[in-house]
Amino acid sequence: MNTRQLVLKIVTEFEDCPKDLDSLIDKTLKFTRIDHRDRRFVFELVYGIVRYKLYLNYVMDKFLTVEPEQQTQTLRRILLVGVYQIMFMDRVPDHAAVNESVNLAKSHPETKAASGVVNAVLRNVIKKKNKIELPDPQVNLVQRLSVEYSHPEWMIERWLKRLGLSNTKKILAFNNKKPEIYLRRKIREISRQQFESDVRTLCEQAVGYLNLYYKMNKAIDTENIRLIQMGLCNVQSPSSGWVTAMMDVSRGEHVLDLCSAPGGKAVLMAEMIQESGTVVACELKFKRLLKVVQTSRRMGLRNVYPIACDGAALPFTGYFDKVLLDAPCTGSGVLHRYPDGRWTRTAENISKLVSVQRKLLESAAKSVDSNGIIVYSTCSLEPEENEEQVQWFLDNHKDFRLDDPPDCLPGMYVDASGYLRITPYEHGLDGMFAARFVKV
């Protein structure tokens, strides 16, 4: 299979049975012999198509004159591949996008006879790509934003109602940017000076919690970075680092990480508590737990103890100094990293996730020692998953109170209620929420 055939295969599998996009791409490419440049091309094309799916279909339908009953899903997906390249990939010449899409249609038995349709539609897109008329915002603002930014209407309606038009547009634009990749330097085993010397051509200056985070300025497969292979750094966003800062762990403490995968926060806490402390890292799905195992082993941390279990029904008893509950959520604060989430989540998911989060909070409350700390966090922007959960917990657990965030938290990330609240529209970073409870 060539790269575009691989893209078509991945997009088809995703639309037929939506699942984690990274895992789907990795599984598909695992037994191919494509080089790293073609691999990046596949990732960019797949992620771009999924991210802009609604907009691309809107553009396609402007020029596709075939009757709906004659439009196969394969034909539409091949057109998605072509339209995305024409609209968003400057490095692919328009004529190449057309020719390769026509060849893709010819290579598939279902669309062989429709290669002329593919050619005609894409050539029309090229002629009129700068004159695409979008829905009139005066008639239907939600529809206009939905098409222009390729987001489901239910999400936009929620954000408009709560955050207003300006902030909503900032979120939508942020979600359509390519996510920035950060390397998180290991605290020990390499000095800051040495690390910065080693990454001077790859990364910008240090930022974030303890100045451990370096934004990459080159498109390189992170698995090929020598410092990662050596266990001297990890890929992690600065927003996740500030959640770890809310824990404020100290040497020798015993910490429970209830929903640990992929393990970035667990290994950072393990470094900080050192060998005299422990991090018990729980994860429900074994495949996700393996990521925690791999990360902690690669970074040479022997005080992380991974356990495959449901964090809401722990198979052990005991009390910990601190508990981190980075809860499963809608992920509406990190849709730029996971564009599939805008199509796989629904408004109904929120109430289901709220129920799961509460069960995990109950488990956390039973696992923390007197004067111990619970940090509850999500990468969601939705109040039902954030401040409303905090209030529910305090109403139902009178032996806990809201605690002030540690002094290391910058004021710009702490709201008037004392919550960690990082938003795409205010800070241009992954959306993150966290609250800190203390058992009294």
Please give the pLDDT value at position 94.
96
Dist CA 78 CA 18 (whole Å): 18
Residue 317 banded pLDDT, cuts 50, 70, 90: confident
Closest CA to 266 of 246, 250, 280: 280
Tens of pLDDT, residue by residue over 412-427, are 999 999 999 999 999 9
> In the chain, pLDDT over 70 holds for what percent of residues?
100
Match 């999500």 to its residue by tokens. 378
Query: What average pLDDT does range 223-249 have in this prediction?
Result: 97
Q: Which two tokens stand for residue 431?
A: 């959306």
In the annotation, is 379 catalytic? yes
Residue 247 contacts residue 255 (beta carbons within 8 Å): yes
340-392 tens-digit pLDDT: 999 999 999 999 999 999 999 999 999 999 999 999 999 999 999 999 999 99
Please state, in angstroms and rounded to a whole number, the distance separating the CA atoms of residues 165 and 172. Answer: 10
Query: Mean pLDDT over residues 402-415, rounded?
Result: 97
Pairwise CA distance, residues 10 & 14, whole Å: 6
Catalytic, out of 17, 329, 379, 408: 379
Confidence category of residue 36, pLDDT binned at 50, 70, 90: confident
Q: What per-residue confidence (pLDDT) applies to 102?
A: 97
Extents of the domains making up the chain: 3-128, 141-175, 179-235, 238-439
Task: Give the pLDDT band of residue 223 (cuts 50, 70, 90).
Answer: confident
For residues 19 and 237, which has the higher predicted lDDT (pLDDT)?
Answer: 237
Please give the helix or strand (H or E) that residue 47 lies within, else none.
helix 36-51
Non-local (6+) Cβ contacts of 205 within 8 A are 214
Topology of the domain comprising 3-128: N-utilizing Substance Protein B Homolog; Chain A (1.10.940)
CATH topology of domain 238-439: Rossmann fold (3.40.50)
pTM: 0.94
* Strands 254-257 and 400-402, bridge-based pairing: unpaired
Local structure of residue 191 (DSSP, 8 states): -
Equal CATH topology for 3-128 and 179-235 = no
Confidence (pLDDT) at 33: 85
Provide the b/e sequence for 59-85 (b: ≥16 CB within 10 Å).
bbeebbeeeeeebeebbbbbbbbbbbb
CB 273 within 8 A of CB 303: yes
Task: Tell me what pLDDT residue 69 has.
Answer: 75
- The confidence band for 31, taking pLDDT boundaries of 50, 70 and 90, is confident
Confidence class of residue 220 from pLDDT cuts 50, 70 and 90?
A: confident
User: Chain-wide mean pLDDT for the chain?
Assistant: 95
Min mean pLDDT across 26-35, 268-277, 320-329, 362-371 is at 26-35
Tell me what pLDDT residue 247 has: 98
Give the pLDDT confidence of 59-107 residue by residue, as tens digits.
999 999 888 777 899 999 999 999 999 999 999 999 999 999 999 999 9
The domain made up of 179-235 is a member of CATH 3.30.70: yes
